[in-house]
Chain A
Amino acid sequence: MEKRFMKGCEAIAEAAVRGGCRFFAGYPITPQNEIPEYLSWRLPEVGGAFVQGESEVASINMVYGAAATGKRALTSSSGPGISLKAEGISYLASAQLPAVIVNISRGGPGLGSIQPAQSDYLQATKALGHGGFRAMVFAPATLQEAVDLTYNAWDYAERYRNPVMILMDGCLGAIMEEVELPEMKNSNPEDIEDWCLDRIGDRTDSHMITPILPEPALELLNKGKAMQYKMWEMLDTKVEEFMLEDAEYVVVAYGIAARVAKEAILRLREEGYKVGMVRPITLYPFPKASLNNLDYTKVKGVIDIEMTIPAQMREDIELQVKDRCPVHEYGRSGGMLLDDEGVYEAIAEIVKGGE
């Protein structure tokens, strides 16, 4: 294992290469430019290809073409660029192509702000494109977690033949931390010879990659996918449960918000308040059980903390809390950052007000 002090965007770019990524296409947009910049020289070093697309629309379609060949393909962008990729991501889903999309999110809506924000939760988890499909969404809170999730992202994408999203905000993309980099993965993924365009072995039959299907086949695909989404929920949900055993107040936060909230929780614990946290690592599948199974004879309130206004995860939380306790929310938005003091004050007011 190799340890390096790295910037978030560069760390996930390197983790992607080590995870077997051999194709990248993307279009410049702040705050994720370090990803294409890094991969522009790094991919050729390992025999991969880098293309600076003429737009996000073109880039996601290049990734669609590359993924169809069986190569591990990546694109990254932020806010407005992810909106432009929506059609292409939907095509990946319908053609059942594995690929990874990174969103280093910024303030929205519109051109919004280039400063960090968690403003794309709903887009990522409910509708990355038209047509009603889902993708796994990984939301790391540390750079080590970002490296590990990126490294393994294609395994999920290929297992389920579905696009996968890594969602982190501009803070995580820009900060520097020490990371342990895993070994280079075998870049020849398994089980792709049955469908990909590459002629692996002595294939003589032909393969069709299609984003359009006859109606009965399309319904069948959608039914299969619906079952697959249930399977993700059972097998692949990732969550961190922090100080929940005796918690009377439960914070729900992901990514950068969870890091800030953890500091506030530790401070309140020192003051004697029983606060814990549920931190979704997969935003989809959402860690429903962690919230549904809380002991609501003890829990007096759930606090949704997000770096966006209004809170976007709230409905997912409320569906699990089922009115068994009040749900509160606190956030900052538009590129205004969550800070230690603000988050502490917001949680403290609810916790102490409940006495």
Chain B
Amino acid sequence: MAEYKRPKSLMPMATGYCPGCLHALATRLVADVIDELGQAENAINVVSVGCSALNLYSWCGDVIGSAHGRAPAVATGVKRCLPERLVFTYQGDGDLAAIGLAEIMSAANRGENFTVVFANNQTYGMTGGQMAPTTLLGQKTTTSRDGRDCLTTGYPMKMCELISVLEAPVFVARYALNTPKGVMDAKKGIKKAFEKQLRGEGFTFIELLTNCPTNWGMNPLDTLEYMNTNTIPYFTPGVFKDKEAEK
């Protein structure tokens, strides 16, 4: 039977995330994979601005905090100077799909040999639940009190779909963390992305659909059901690009 242990890559402390927040699970999955690949000392965690900035303090290995949206640029600088290291960014959807759009698209298009882990909780968690580029139509936030209206704010942005039309990325996939199967698949996807990076294959992008019980105003269990009925039908999980499989 599998043992449930704290990954070596995480400090023996509480993460600081709200109860039921899937950021904690997503972070744990990344840490597990790094442990399994024996990369704890070789990994460099490029932390972004958002709730996941908490990882600055809970991560055991080398870590660098970056400006809001700029993690892919910071990772570019790091990886170009230290090509042997396992470099990854971990970014929220405001960070990656709004303020950091230029950086993510450009790093993906250059085919930078690092991995982006994108935690999509459809809101700006850290700043108190404002509308994000990924907020679902009709979803209520502190800046869309009557629900997101496509007439004035457009549509939720599908980052996997956008990135997979670029030539350079080698692996682009989306997973939902609201079911055990989704979690297991996500872990396999993260592992595959890291392995590709370690082989020098190029840019890899993993989107993880997560929740935000606090700002969605729901208890954690309800968020999982909400994801089933609302998030997943719009943000379809799956592999959007796998250069190996295309061959």
Contacts and interface: CB of A to CB of B under 8 A. Distances in A.
B65 A65 contact: no
Interface in A209-267: 209-212
A58 B81 CA distance: 16
A88 B73 CA distance: 11
A65 B56 contact: no
Contact-residue size bin, chain A (C-beta under 8 Å from the other chain) = 35 or more
B77 A88 contact: no
A61 B64 contact: no
Interface stretch (A5-13, A68-76, A326-334): A68-76
A95 B78 CA distance: 15
A334 B41 CA distance: 53
Contact of B82 (A61, A198, A208): A198
B44 A64 contact: no
B64 A65 contact: yes
Interface of B: 41, 44, 46, 53, 56, 59-67, 70, 73-82, 85, 102-103, 105-106, 110
Given A206-B60, A207-B62, A212 B53 contact: yes
A139 interface: no
A61 B102 contact: no
Given A58-B70, A61-B73, A49 B60 contact: no
A99 to B, nearest CB: 10
B78 A65 contact: yes
A55 B56 CA distance: 26
Contact of A95 (B59, B65, B102, B106): B65
Contact of A212 (B62, B65, B82, B106): B65
Greatest chain B CB density within 10 A among A91, A206, A207 is at: A206
Contacts of B73: 53, 57-59, 61-62, 64-65
Question: Which secondary structure dominates where chain A touches chain B?
Answer: mixed
Given A58-B102, A208-B63, A49 B80 contact: yes
Contact of B76 (A22, A51, A57, A210): A51
A63 B102 contact: no
A204 interface: yes
B16 to A, nearest CB: 13
A304 to B, nearest CB: 36
A199 B106 CA distance: 28
A4 to B, nearest CB: 28
Interface string A9-53: 000000000000011010000000000000000000000010101
A23 B66 CA distance: 18
Given A54-B102, A91-B67, A208-B63, A61 B81 contact: no
Given A54-B102, A211-B67, 14 more contacts: A23-B80, A54-B103, A54-B105, A58-B106, A59-B73, A61-B77, A62-B76, A63-B77, A64-B66, A64-B73, A64-B74, A65-B76, A206-B62, A208-B64
Given A23-B81, A49-B81, A64-B77, A55 B67 contact: no
Contacts of B79: 65
A87 interface: yes
Contacts of B82: 69, 197-198
Contact of B77 (A57, A62, A91, A204): A62
Contact of A61 (B62, B63, B103): B103
